[in-house]
A and B are shown apart, each in its own frame.
Chain A
């Protein structure tokens, strides 16, 4: 008796691209196409009804996008693994999809064999990410970890150091040979970035976030 084939629902709003995907899945001995949809609402309805092993979803679709369908599947605890494909793999999108519970994220330029292999792997409970997507994910994780620390230009760091020394705006202007108006403008930007309203709070926040020792 042959092993059971993994059931798959495909959703993509572009009929030509979707046809290519469904044809490729139809040729696979280990996958069975059980439904298809041209928008996010229809996709979610089909997935709720058929409870496939895997949903292969385009990210950009009318109605609900792929990420929203993924969120609904996760929230409703449906037994369906999600593989997302996108023509446009923005880093934070990759992060949101994986953080939201997707088993895989692929660029739409991926070969159909690779897409079908990834769908089959998702049906087995595996998570697969191509190298370029891994890189994007790592960058996003690092970016999110670093985003708590305000980023200052070298000039702003200089000005910050001088207010920590207790220098007044005119003193700073003289030392840096800048106009007082320019220093004032640097100070305002510094306050904006640190989310403070005065010099003492700027120094305190800078020390707390590691910008000053």
Chain B
């Protein structure tokens, strides 16, 4: 058995044999756009037998390769890619590689069929878009549902409880009968709890309550739960059409702070910046690993919702604290 060393091997011949086996088209052309060599795949692309390609001018065969691109590669001396397509609807990535062989420019061409890759990328993009739209639609549906339940509780159940309270409190024995007093206390307790539920479900239950007031109320409510200290900074003009989203985002973000950073100092900012409505919550708590965001279902859903609306979500977290900034386009 003869062992070939690198010095004795016919590398050029081996590479040529190898290039016949691949379905990637490989060709060499001179600066005048005449074929010097084409492998089987490239020859097949041009409808010519491999041993009949050499010497043919590019303009004699219908080709993916253009003489302009060959001339550019020879002139610029740097490789580049061109996207091309064939009549059968397939997509190609064509790479032009200038190769200085010492006797003028030779240009190498590598053509890869990327039809499947392109189709897969398009399908992925479509799926990602569908996913964003679904997340957005489902979160909006959840917000609407919360609003509907809150309205029902406020407009009917709460009114009937308040009526029952007044009826009992109007009875002559209301102050003296212990059983009646206990019943009144119980109604007051349920009323209080129901108000808290309505607030939590949907703080803007009153047409007259401004988004500013709702944000302040929400922030102070969560601050008491943490507890944490909160400073709320709101721009005067928060008209955006995103009121429900602003509140639901702040519920999620401040809920996380209450859970993971009790005792923190927290800043809330809601303001139009550029063409966006910016919602930012920053705390000086212990932070968390931003790479684990997928494990935070609420936060991941919130980010997906922002991105589904064409906005941006940024998260910075370190031992120094956490800052989450959401920017939603103002329509």
Contacts and interface: CB of A to CB of B under 8 A. Distances in A.
Interface string B170-195: 10000000000000000010010001
Given A154-B284, A189-B280, A20 B208 contact: no
A145 interface: no
Contacts of B316: 181-182, 185
B233 A182 contact: no
B210 to A, nearest CB: 6
A131 B310 CA distance: 47
Contacts of B82: none
B323 interface: yes
Given A108-B159, A185-B323, 19 more contacts: A16-B160, A17-B159, A17-B160, A59-B208, A60-B155, A66-B208, A67-B208, A87-B195, A88-B154, A93-B209, A96-B208, A109-B165, A109-B191, A112-B170, A153-B266, A182-B318, A189-B280, A189-B282, A193-B233
Nearest to B151: A60
A59 B209 CA distance: 10
Most B CB atoms within 10 A — which of A20, A66, A96, A109? Answer: A109
Contact of B267 (A91, A156, A182): A156
Contacts of A154: 265, 284
B217 interface: yes
B3 interface: no
Contact of B209 (A90, A156, A193): A90
Contacts of A109: 162, 165, 188, 191
Interface of A: 13-14, 16-17, 20, 24, 59-60, 65-67, 86-88, 90-93, 96, 108-109, 111-113, 143, 150-156, 178-179, 181-182, 185, 189, 192-193
Contacts of B240: none
A24 B206 CA distance: 26
A72 to B, nearest CB: 14
Q: State the majority secondary structure of interface residues on A.
A: helix
B232 interface: yes
Contacts of B288: none
A192 B233 CA distance: 10
7 contacts: A16-B159, A20-B166, A150-B233, A151-B232, A154-B284, A182-B323, A192-B273
B213 interface: yes
A162 to B, nearest CB: 15
Contact of B231 (A16, A59, A66, A152): A152
A5 to B, nearest CB: 20
Contacts, number: 118
Contact of B284 (A59, A112, A153): A153
B162 A87 contact: yes
B278 A14 contact: no
B188 A151 contact: no
A17 B321 contact: no
Scoring B163, B198, B280 by chain A CB atoms within 10 A of each residue's CB, the highest score goes to B163
Contacts of A150: 233
A71 B205 CA distance: 20
B31 to A, nearest CB: 48
B207 A192 contact: no
A132 B282 CA distance: 32
B209 A92 contact: yes
Contacts of B169: 111-112
Contacts of A66: 208
A192 B277 CA distance: 12
4 A-B pairs closest in CB distance:
A92-B213, A14-B159, A151-B231, A153-B267
Contact of B166 (A87, A92, A112, A155): A112
B278 A192 contact: yes
A45 to B, nearest CB: 20
Nearest to B188: A109
B212 interface: yes
B255 to A, nearest CB: 19
A8 B154 CA distance: 26
B205 A182 contact: no
Nearest to A179: B318
Contacts of B323: 182, 185, 189
Contacts of B212: 92
B118 interface: no
A115 to B, nearest CB: 8
